[in-house]
Amino acid sequence: MAAGAAGHGVYAGSAVTVAHTIGDLRRAEYRVQPIKSELRRNLIRKLQSGERLFPGIVGYDDSVIPQLENALLAGQDVVLLGERGQAKSRLIRSLTSLLDEAVPAIAGCEINDDPYSPICRRCRDLVAERGDETPITWLGAEDRYGEKLATPDTSIADLIGEVDPIRVAEGRYLSDELVIHYGLIPRTHRGIFAINELPDLAERIQVGLLNIIEERDVQIRGFRIRLPLDVFVVATANPEDYTNRGRIITPLKDRFGAQVRTHYPRTVEHEIAIVEQERVVFDDMPVPVHVPQHMKEIAVEITHLARRHPQINQRSGVSVRVTTANYESLTSSALRRALIRGEKEAVVRVSDLVAVTPSTAGKVELDTWDGTDDDQVLDKVVRSACSNVFRRHFSAQELSDLVQRFDRGGFTVEVGPLMTAESYRSAIEELPGLDRARQKLDEPDTPQSMAAVLEFVLEGLHLSKRLNKTALEGTSVYGG
């Protein structure tokens, strides 16, 4: 049985009724299911119907998602292990799509008590007094999700609860359950509780979570309360911290049923798809901006090389946010050129790569122990990315006619991030093979796109040691 739209309809066989009290629920023969059974039931239904479970999650269809589905079908609490920027939080928040549209709870309860089996003192007393006339409320899926970023100063009071001094001042005894102000986990009773960066919790707080996850006991201020919470717990952690040599205590690690390893996008296509999905898009673009496919590949290649570079700290990770920020910087550089020079179209080209140094430096940690300048490391990564992408599309032999034009001497081409497409016209007309290169790159036959093709070909030939390049103030000159 599942709650219907707007949180008021209860489906019991073919009958639909509006339930406001426990008695209404009983007459509708509504059955309350444990949270893990509810998640499992809805997952089974979606798998059978072929519905996409986690829209917006790219690159995990054959790795992470099957493992997560197995854990949900087994009713296991889950920890997601991975570096930053691997969509762990988004994946967790997507789990709310497996919750029922709405479920009933006793009205006014701090911990969303089951109308049939209340566990808090206040609701037990209320049901004993009013019976089937006890009022209920309906909770939506978002009301049943709680999340906490673990920090060293997170306390037991935050997660589990604390004695409320106001209630004590009102005359209640400290041993009375009613003096408790519940924390985040009890308030997610009958829902999903997520805790990000689990090992960042102090060890004594990790110990406090043990009984909550396994035995469902709560211990607050020296007295123990049996509180059989119904919570699906999912956590995230950095792999290096989630070991007995890191900052996780082994007994807590043992409480999680499944450990799922996330990863960065494994293909260029997946990373481009994520960037296209996540980048900031403005409605008030004064001119259209086009990003050629080869420039998208360069932006991705920069990130992939950074993930393997010995002078870039891999412990903190190099996330897709680096690619996204660089993509946005490239489009901004092209837009700036079009606005300054009065062009009606902006096309990203190689000379715009000067804009990625600030956006990359702000998102990676460099270990330049040998005195190397940070900008030099990043510049080398960018040049390697250009070279790799060029070699995927061209061989030097394909462009031998173009190289020969430079080798005859006296011919140079100047490029720069503020130079107009029109200023490249004479070079484009004189260099053979550029139109074939444009067709191979599948770029439109426009002056701006031809300028982008020209810069890519020249830089690729320079990095292949077929052309010389001289850096000037704000521009560069290619020659034989």
Q: What is the pLDDT of residues 348-361, one digit of tens each?
A: 999 999 999 999 98
Q: For 411-435, what is each residue's pLDDT tens digit?
A: 899 999 999 999 999 999 999 999 9
| Res 461 pLDDT > 90 | yes
Residue 90 CB neighbour total at 10 angstroms: 12
| Res 173 pLDDT > 70 | no
Region 83-109: what's the mean pLDDT? 93
Task: Give the pLDDT confidence score for residue 317 in this predicted structure.
Answer: 78
Region 168-180: what's the mean pLDDT? 65
Region 163-183: what's the mean pLDDT? 68
Q: Which two tokens stand for residue 236?
A: 């995230």
d(CA 21, CA 134): 5
Q: Which residues contact 169 (CB under 8 A, 6 or more apart)?
A: none
Q: Set out the domains of the chain in order of their start, with CATH numbers.
A: 34-261 (3.40.50.300), 268-479 (no CATH)
d(CA 273, CA 269): 6
- Specify the pairing of strand 145-149 against strand 102-106: unpaired
Q: What percent of the chain has pLDDT over 70?
A: 89
- Specify the pairing of strand 258-261 against strand 476-479: unpaired
Region 449-466: what's the mean pLDDT? 96
Task: Give the pLDDT confidence score for residue 175 in this predicted structure.
Answer: 59
Long-range contacts formed by 205-210: CB under 8 A, 24+ apart: 205/154, 205/155, 205/156, 205/159, 206/248, 206/249, 206/252, 207/249, 207/251, 207/252, 208/156, 208/159, 208/160, 209/159, 209/252, 209/255, 210/251, 210/252, 210/255
Long-range contacts formed by 417-421: CB under 8 A, 24+ apart: 417/333, 417/337, 417/351, 417/352, 417/354, 417/355, 417/474, 418/337, 418/340, 418/341, 418/474, 419/351, 419/475, 420/337, 420/341, 420/343, 421/343, 421/347, 421/446, 421/447, 421/448, 421/450, 421/451
Task: Give the pLDDT confidence score for residue 8 in this predicted structure.
Answer: 39
| pLDDT grade for 196, boundaries at 50, 70 and 90 | very high
Q: For 101-130, what is each residue's pLDDT tens digit?
A: 999 999 999 999 999 999 888 899 999 999
Region 15-28: what's the mean pLDDT? 79
Task: Give the pLDDT confidence score for residue 192 in this predicted structure.
Answer: 97
Region 50-58: what's the mean pLDDT? 90
Long-range contacts formed by 438-441: CB under 8 A, 24+ apart: 440/393, 440/394, 441/292, 441/293, 441/294, 441/393
| pLDDT grade for 84, boundaries at 50, 70 and 90 | confident
Task: Give the pLDDT confidence score for residue 236 in this predicted structure.
Answer: 94
Least confident of 193-202, 261-270, 366-375: 366-375
Q: Which two tokens stand for residue 301?
A: 């290649």
Least confident of 145-149, 208-212, 335-339: 208-212
Region 58-67: what's the mean pLDDT? 95
Q: For 303-350, what is each residue's pLDDT tens digit?
A: 999 999 888 887 777 899 999 999 999 999 999 999 999 999 999 999
d(CA 279, CA 362): 17
Region 41-47: what's the mean pLDDT? 96
| Res 223 pLDDT > 60 | no
Q: What percent of the chain has pLDDT over 90?
A: 65
Average pLDDT score, the chain: 88
Least confident of 3-7, 39-43, 70-74, 131-135: 3-7
Task: Give the pLDDT confidence score for residue 174 in this predicted structure.
Answer: 55
Region 45-56: what's the mean pLDDT? 92
| pLDDT grade for 478, boundaries at 50, 70 and 90 | very high
| Structure-model confidence comparison of residues 479 and 165, the more confident one | 479
